[in-house]
């Protein structure tokens, strides 16, 4: 067996906030790999037997023709949706009963577009979005004078503006790991989530419906990296639900807020508030942008990153065990969360984490650089019923390592009617590679 050292990445957002909360820190575990465990049995939810039609295509800027990543594609009048990938490509599965319906395509800074589903080419429908233009006079009139006060109002009003009832959500989760430009590990899962009200302190619960994985650790003496936390990695970036871990009353005073620029979402004026940790802070904090609906005082999106000022301190946030001859630390950690609205109530729709990890070896000429991404998209939701509650025994632990509990990519009907995020080209190549390997094994 190759001499493999494993890095288990616990990327739960809620655990990286402040250094002195040692029980709430992200951790990386470096241990020797012995084996991969089979899929843990989980409670299955019943999927609709209704037939569906797949629609594939691309979302692009109308003028530049550049792809628009993370655009939201929703079947109008329903809660079913998907998200475009890093190439701007999308895949959405439309039930036969909805083929006469409308697709709603939304992207920050662009005009919302409505397209009849019947008019789309099933295999290559290009959707063009036009940029929104702002009137500066309108911005000057509406923009508040104090950015800090605006942020405080957003969190104070979350019980009114965000979902105040429990939701039963279906989600697609993906985590991928690269060594430089090469894909070396990929895991995906269909999950169900009991999403608690935003004015409720009870944490959300997750169950895995089914999961699959692909790994390509072949080189001798290679770091085999795994995420610890699975879907919780992405879920805890919901900064409205888990605001105490970054914008609590104690922490919010440690940031400077300022107005940056404006844009439009759904024909509503969105002001971009930039935040930075105050000068002189020793602890590592976050920096980024909050996209706030000025009229309703609602956070629609947030994009931010961990401001790494000390590699040794950053390493302590993430690394619990490591090889004696290596210094392991993150060089970049970024986060994104998007919210969606229906009937004037906002709810969590999509989030991702991107992390770059550097491994410096004491007695080696070259260092190792890895990049990791975890993302989750809500693809459907409904009001929670007693029948849909996730039993305690079926809830996955926040310490789950999805790659250890998932099957390979051998099941061609894996996703059924579930909506997923279309794989990037590099991911597709990784999946095809593992499928070819499985076919060879089956023939032998």
Q: Inform me whether the pLDDT recorded for 222 exceeds 70.
A: no
Share of the chain above pLDDT 70, in %: 77
Whether 290 and 230 share a structural domain: yes
CA 328 to chain centre: 24
Name residues whose C-beta falls within 8 Å of residue 373's C-beta, 6 or more positions apart in sequence. Answer: 174, 175, 176, 352, 353, 354, 355
Whether 434 and 290 share a structural domain: yes
Residue-wise pLDDT for 142-169, tens only, equals 556 789 999 999 999 998 999 999 999 9
Whether 78 and 145 share a structural domain: no
Q: How many CA atoms lie within 13 A of 432 on its CB side?
A: 7
Residue 45 lies in a domain: no
Rounded to an integer, the average pLDDT of 14-34 is: 34
From residue 429, how far is each of 55, 214, 426 by CA, in Å?
Answer: 21, 11, 5
Report how far residue 247's alpha carbon sits from residue 258's, in angstroms, rounded to the nearest whole number: 15
- Of 80, 100, 129, at which residue does a domain stop? 129
* Mean pLDDT of the residues in the chain: 80
Query: What is the pLDDT confidence band of residue 126, given thresholds at 50, 70 and 90?
Result: very high
Residue 217 lies in a domain: yes
Q: Which of 21-25, 280-284, 439-443 has the highest mean pLDDT?
A: 280-284
Rounded to an integer, the average pLDDT of 208-221 is: 72
Whether 246 and 222 share a structural domain: yes
Q: Is 301 exposed, middle or buried (0-12, 13-18, 19+ CB in 10 A)?
A: buried
- Of 129, 162, 190, at which residue does a domain stop? 129
- pLDDT recorded at residue 94: 93
Residues 177 and 315: beta-carbon distance below 8 Å: no
Rounded to an integer, the average pLDDT of 383-393 is: 87
Domain containing residue 144: 5-37+135-443
Rounded to an integer, the average pLDDT of 316-332 is: 79
Q: Inform me whether the pLDDT recorded for 189 exceeds 60.
A: yes
7-11, 54-58, 164-168: segment of lowest average pLDDT: 7-11
Query: What is the pLDDT confidence band of residue 134, given thresholds at 50, 70 and 90?
Result: low
* Overall number of domains in the chain: 2
Query: 3-state class of 359 per DSSP?
Result: strand
Residue 317 lies in a domain: yes
Share of the chain above pLDDT 90, in %: 40
Rounded to an integer, the average pLDDT of 337-349 is: 93
Query: What is the pLDDT confidence band of residue 139, given thresholds at 50, 70 and 90?
Result: low
Angle at 366 between CA 363 and CA 367, to 5 degrees: 90
Two structure tokens written together for 233: 């990695």
Q: Any idea what the CATH number is for the domain that residue 80 is in?
A: 2.60.40.1120
- Of 129, 160, 195, at which residue does a domain stop? 129
Residue 24 lies in a domain: yes
Residue 44 lies in a domain: no
Angle at 14 between CA 209 and CA 27, to 5 degrees: 85
Task: State the Cα torsion 18-194-230-345 to the nearest 10°.
Answer: -60
């Amino acid at each position: 067996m190759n001499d493999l050292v494993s890095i288990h990445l616990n990327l739960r957002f809620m655990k990286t906030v402040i250094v002195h909360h040692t029980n709430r820190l992200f951790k990386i575990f470096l241990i020797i790999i012995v084996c991969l465990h089979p899929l843990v049995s989980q409670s299955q939810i019943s999927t609709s037997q209704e037939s569906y039609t797949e629609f594939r295509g691309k979302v692009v800027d109308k003028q530049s023709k550049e792809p628009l990543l993370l655009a939201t594609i929703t079947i109008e009048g329903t809660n079913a949706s998907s998200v475009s990938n890093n190439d701007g490509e999308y895949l959405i599965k439309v039930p036969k009963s909805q083929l006469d319906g409308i697709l709603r395509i939304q992207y920050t800074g662009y005009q919302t577009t409505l397209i009849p589903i019947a008019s789309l080419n099933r295999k290559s429908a290009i959707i063009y979005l036009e940029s929104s233009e702002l009137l500066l006079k309108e911005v000057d009139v509406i923009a508040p004078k104090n950015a800090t006060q605006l942020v405080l109002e957003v969190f104070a009003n979350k019980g009114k503006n965000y979902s105040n009832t429990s939701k039963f959500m279906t989600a697609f989760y993906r985590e991928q790991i690269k060594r430089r430009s090469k894909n070396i590990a990929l895991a995906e899962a269909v999950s169900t989530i009991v999403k608690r009200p935003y004015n409720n302190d009870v944490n959300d619960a997750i169950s895995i419906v089914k999961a699959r994985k692909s790994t390509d650790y072949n080189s001798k003496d290679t770091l085999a990296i795994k995420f610890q936390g699975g879907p919780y990695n992405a879920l805890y970036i919901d900064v409205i639900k888990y605001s105490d871990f970054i914008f609590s009353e104690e922490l919010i005073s440690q940031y400077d807020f300022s107005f940056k620029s404006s844009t439009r979402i759904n024909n509503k004026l969105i002001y971009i508030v930039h935040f930075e940790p105050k000068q002189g802070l020793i602890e590592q904090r976050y920096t980024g942008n909050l996209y706030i609906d000025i009229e309703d005082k609602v956070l629609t999106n947030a994009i931010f990153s961990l401001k790494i000022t000390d590699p040794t301190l950053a390493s302590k946030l993430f690394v619990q065990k490591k090889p004696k001859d290596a210094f392991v630390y993150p060089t970049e950690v970024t986060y994104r969360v998007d919210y969606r609205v229906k009937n004037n109530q906002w709810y969590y729709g999509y989030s991702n984490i991107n992390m770059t990890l550097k491994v410096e070896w004491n007695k080696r000429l070259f260092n190792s650089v890895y990049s990791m991404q975890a993302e989750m998209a809500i693809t459907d939701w409904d009001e929670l019923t007693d029948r849909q509650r996730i039993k305690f025994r079926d809830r996955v632990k926040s310490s789950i390592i999805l790659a250890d509990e998932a099957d390979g990519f051998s099941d061609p009907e894996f996703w059924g009617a579930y909506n997923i995020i279309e794989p990037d080209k590099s991911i597709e190549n990784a999946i095809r590679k593992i499928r070819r390997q499985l076919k060879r094994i089956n023939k032998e």
